[in-house]
């Protein structure tokens, strides 16, 4: 089973997410199930399952995606999937970088730019409400993240 984690700047509708995931993962829209935090009305037999969780701060949504082995051809690597989703949905898509630092991410923009990003958990809600994430820095300017500093990021996670 292929698994992905994405963070998006915008909040596409569940229908738009399902259509984009179907295209990127090589499934039909009918084979994609997108559910919000309530978890109601899940189709646990779907080939592509996506849990969508609201965020606060610089990022709007967290997507946890699982793709069943029966989907063929094999779904793309996380970096390629992020680029395709960004282009399809018109939103910057972040995915975790390999390494030990939880703040290390890669950002993919709708126009095809890939850059390293540092994401900080600024959650001061005490468990109330959505997690607040801030994109502290990027290595290349990202128009949809205007508050992020542009600087070299020296954290682990050079994959991409």
Q: Is the pLDDT of residue 116 over 70?
A: yes
> Dmax of the chain from CA atoms?
44
- Residue 94 · residue 82 · CB < 8 Å: yes
> What is the pTM assigned to this prediction?
0.90
pLDDT tens-digit profile of 30-85?
A: 999 999 876 667 888 899 999 999 999 999 999 999 999 888 788 999 999 999 99
What's the pLDDT score for residue 101? 80
How far apart CA 142 and CA 75 sit, in angstroms, is 26
Between 53 and 101, whose confidence is greater? 53
| Gyration radius of the chain over CA positions | 15
DSSP 98: S
Identify the weakest region by mean pLDDT among 3-12, 73-82, 97-106, 113-122: 97-106
């Amino acid at each position: 089973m292929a698994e992905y984690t994405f963070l998006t700047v915008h909040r596409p509708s569940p229908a738009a997410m399902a259509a984009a995931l179907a295209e990127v993962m090589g499934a039909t829209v009918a084979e994609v199930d997108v559910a919000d935090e309530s978890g109601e009305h899940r189709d646990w037999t779907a080939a592509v399952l996506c849990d969508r969780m609201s965020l606060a701060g610089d990022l709007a949504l967290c997507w946890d995606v699982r793709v069943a082995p029966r989907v063929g051809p094999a779904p793309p690597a996380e970096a390629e999937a992020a680029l395709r989703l960004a282009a399809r949905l018109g939103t910057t898509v972040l995915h975790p970088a390999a390494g030990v630092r939880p703040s290390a991410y890669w950002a993919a923009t709708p126009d095809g730019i890939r850059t390293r990003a540092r994401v900080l958990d600024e959650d001061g809600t005490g468990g109330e409400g959505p997690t607040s994430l801030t994109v502290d820095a990027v290595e290349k300017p990202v128009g949809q993240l205007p508050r992020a500093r542009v600087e070299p990021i020296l954290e682990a996670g050079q994959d991409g």
